[in-house]
Structure 1
Amino acid sequence: MKAARIDDELMRNTEDAMTTNETSGRQSRRLKGVRSQPLTLRLLSHWQACAALFIVCAGLLGTGSYYMLVYQRTKLTCNNVFWPFASASLRLYCAQQQAEKNTLEDLFAAIGLVDVLGKNHPLRAAINPQIEEWSDRALDLAEKAFHEGKLKRAISFANRIPDRTAAHKVVQSRIKRWKEIWAEGEGIYKKAEDTLQQENWRQAFSIMVGLLKVDNRYWSQTQYEAMNKRILQAQKDEKVLAKAKDLIRSGGLDNLSEALGLARDLGPESVFHKSAKGTIERIAQRLMQVAETALQRRDLTTALDASQLIPRETKLGQRSKDFVDLAYASASSWSGTASGLQDAITEVRKIEASSPLYNQAQSLALKWEGQLASLRQQQELAQARVNDSYPNSVADSIPDSILSWEEPIVRDNRVSRQASADQSLLDRADSLSLNGDRKSLGEAIQLAQRIVPGRPFYEDAQARVADWEFQLQQLDNPRFEEFPETLAPEPDNSGKELWQEAQGYASQNSPGGLSAAVEVANRIGPNSPFRAQAEQSMASWSERILTIAQTQANSDLPKAIAIAQQIPALSPVYDVAQKQIRQWQNRS
């Protein structure tokens, strides 16, 4: 049985081997059959994979083509193309890209790229409408440049519009209109500018209002606003100058110093700069007067302060510089001693021959040299005195300059008697001055002037004299104009001429003429026989200006404001006009 099992197993193995050999033979024969088929038939057997591969390749090719067409043309071709060999389609494409920037330069660059192609070129049907559109846009941009104040740029580019376009037909009429409008605005602005430079900002404002009607934004807005700012600044500067003049009229070192600072603030950019310079010159004159008056009353501090305030750029600049040396020399001489006089002579001799004070310095030097010589003689006389045998009358004849050589008791008695006499003179002068009339003030001045230099109350007397002289000056001219040179009343014939000039302006019966009439009439002197009539007329003319403004307000409020602003500040209705202007401005 064991042998039977072995035989069965051998048979099964043999059968399995045969089956395996048959299967291998069939597979081998199948492979040989496939290899023997053509390549096309073999690929068709895998058509799904081939279709997918074809789709991927087509997509990549399309994407690459689009990239090369769009990206490379805009980024590379238009910026680096050599135009003599460029195709017409490339020119048109790049011209369209250029025109998209929408500036005058780019639009004409776009036109230039395609307009070189012949009239019969196949792409002309596409190019011509583009040129028409770009020309219209260029004309619009030129109009915009005109309104921005760039007239030359607008005209230059408008003239470059191609002849065959519809836009070109209106170019010359457009340029003519631009020039006419520009000339109108320029003329109004220049007239306002010239008037403003004459410091008549009210009239300048009236002229400037005309810019609002100019059909150009540069003149009606930009330049109008610029001129308006200048006029507003001129108003402020006028007030500053008026305040400076008020301070000058008030007098005093502090007021003059403040006035000088205000006038200096009106620099070259101010329309009142020229008037400010004239005011500074007059302040310098007043400061010099203060300095000289202070020096006369031996007030060295005030004299130096006033002279050192005088600007060096004024006509009195060099004089003020030398005045300081003269003041120190004078102060040295006040001691009345030999050393003081010698120092004064040495100091004053330093003033050069080119100085305006040279002659005065030489005169003082000669005077002090004479006093020094006389002093030395009197000193010798005092030294020869042996005792107090001189009577009082003789002792009184010895000047203060040699008191240092007198014996103490003689000097004390003499000073005491002089002080008593001086006090008595000043008391009498003070009493007379209280009357306040010309005669009393004149007599008071004469009494005080009897107190000579070197006496105990000399400085007090000089201070009183200066005060009383100022009171007399006020009595002689109650209206006391700005500066010393204008104190004298204006001659009657000058008043007549001014009155006739004012009437001439008033006869124009216009706001500007009436305003000018008021200002001219106000220059008539207070002592002129025409002054009273002028004041009445000034009030009447001012009221007429206000009436014209009120009438105009019914139809043209800005013009009414401009008219009312022409009423001078000196007019009696000025405050009423200003109130009316504010009301109108709130309404507009």
Structure 2
Amino acid sequence: MNEKQKIIGQGRIFPQIEPREETQWQLSERRKNRQQRLQELRSNGSQIKLYKSPTKYSNQQKHSVSPIKKTEPKKPKPPNNLGSIYGFLCITLLVIVPTGAGITAMSALFKLPSQADCESTYWRTASASKRLYCAQLLATSSTVDSLLQAINLVDVLSNDHPMRPQIDGYIEKWSKKILSLGDLAFQDGKLEEAITIAQKVPQKVPAYPLVEKQIQDWQKTWNEAEGNYTQTQEHLRQEEWHQASMEASRLLSVPNVYWGTKKYQELINDLKRTRKESAKLNEAQDIGEKGGLDNLTNGIQQAQEIEQKSYIYQKAQKLVLNFGKKIVDIALIKLNEGNWQEALDVVNKVPNNDALKEKVEDIEVLARAYSPANLGTVAGLEDAIAQVEKLKAERPLYSKAQELISLWQQEISDVTIIEEGKKLAQPGGISDLKVAIAKLQTIPPYNPRGQDATTLIKAWNRELQQQEDRPFLEKAEKLASFGDLSSLQAAISEARQIGRGRTLYQEAQNKIKRWTEKVQRFEDQPILDDAQILALSGNIEQAIFTARKIRAGRVLYNQARAKIQEWQVQLEAKRSLENARQVAAGATADAYVTAISLAQQVPSYSSRQVEASQLINQWSQQILFIAMEVVNRDVPQAISIARKIPRNSLAYNSAQSQISIWQSWLTPTQPIEDRSLPSNQSQQLREENSTNLTDERGKPLVSKPKFTDNN
């Protein structure tokens, strides 16, 4: 039977299958989603109720016949007159009955069996045509079981049966339908079910090689898709986002609806979720790498939010383990420092992890053992040792436990010595303290209680030194109480017997300093008094020389230094005024200006400041007089000279008035011959100038100037 080819599923071609409408089997150019493709595949076969298998009759039913009834001998009938009538009827029946039987036989020959006939047929005696017809009815259901029943129903016919070629064609057709149903399961992601369906096709049918090839194609497609899927998952675990996306996109070209839609979408969703989880994990790593207990704890909490089904779950767990180890290290540091309570608080923040469990438990044991050990008693130390001895050699902190046991055993020995030393020092005498100190000096400083022993030794040494040195200090104070120079010097000598580093050394030094200052006052005060007397007598140079005999570091040095600076200022002021007088002797305007500048160098706090001010006023008036003499010859020059008078002098205001008058003369409104100094103003200036200016000794500062009457 030569049938056309049919397209099934994702373009897979099976030969010799009757064609169906292409719209039912071929995909459009645009990819259809999984639901549409499955719907099309399911719509290819009509769904009808599956026929029941032909009922097999028992041997009794097959060979049973209707029971034969016994006939009783007929009684003789009385003769009647109707014989002729019966004869006619018999002849009529002989004609009608055969004719009806023939008609009935012909009708039965051309009439096909009904569905009810297929269900009640005795198949051992059924004809080939009836088997084929009933098989066709079964095949219309398009289910695997109905198609297999159809094949089994007609495949029992012998190979030499006249209808065998036609039956083989139908068997091949139905076998391919079974394969199409298997492909539908394959497209739905049920590979094993598809193979199981395909393997139900009888091996002896001619189409069975198609079954084997179809199964191989399915398995190859499935393996390739699984390979792509697995490789994409590996890229996700390695956080290779681009490679994962490219690998996942290859599923779109797989000729399988299940892999090209559902599994592809799963990978895309996994990619999005994993990228978010990776960002969260990176943030957790950044937080933890900042260091510190809080940052490590926060980093662990964020990393633990990565669920177990995540592709980067193992990476998150490694990060949690790494941060957990760092927290354990912090707890060990606290433990080594003796902060056992802090160590317990820290170790409680270590995440639950089998790799850290034993170390955490060991830290807890060691930390709790510190509590009785810190009591500092023999009983407490023995209790601590008993707790730590529970850690056996296979435990991770066994070596630390042995170290603590050795330490605490040594501490028990130290505690015993310290207690004995305290008993020896209890009387408090010098000899008692010396014996107690010697006892504790047998404990090395690096021993567990070495620091405690050192502290006690220092305390007893202070007490011992006070008892030894107090008599020296008391004797020195008694000597210094006399207050004279020799007594103070003797007190200083006595106090200096207390050496450096002794308990009373600083107290002795303070007293020595106070007594030394008194001695220096006795020695240096006469020198300073002599210098002041010389300065008052005017011999400033000799006063400075005398005061410099008091050296730096002496108690009166600062006072002498202040006096020297004061006298140096007076000496410089004296020299400045002498220089100013010498310059002013030139009796010119420029000479007076220079002299005034020298006089202004005298400091305001100098005792010669009054004298300097008087000289400045005197020389300022001299400048004004010179300007008034020049004005009749050269008004601009007179104005220039008058402007040199300093602002803080007594002649300044008069000079400014004259300058205003002289400047008005320079205007052309008044004849030049009328420009002369008024007589009353000239007379006033003469009177002001006639006043004698004297220094502090009453001597005149300058001679009276000579004026020329301009009137």
TM-score by length of 2: 0.41
Higher helix share: 1
Larger Cα-atom Rg:
2
* Structure of greater relative contact order (alpha carbons < 8 Å, 6+ residues apart): 1
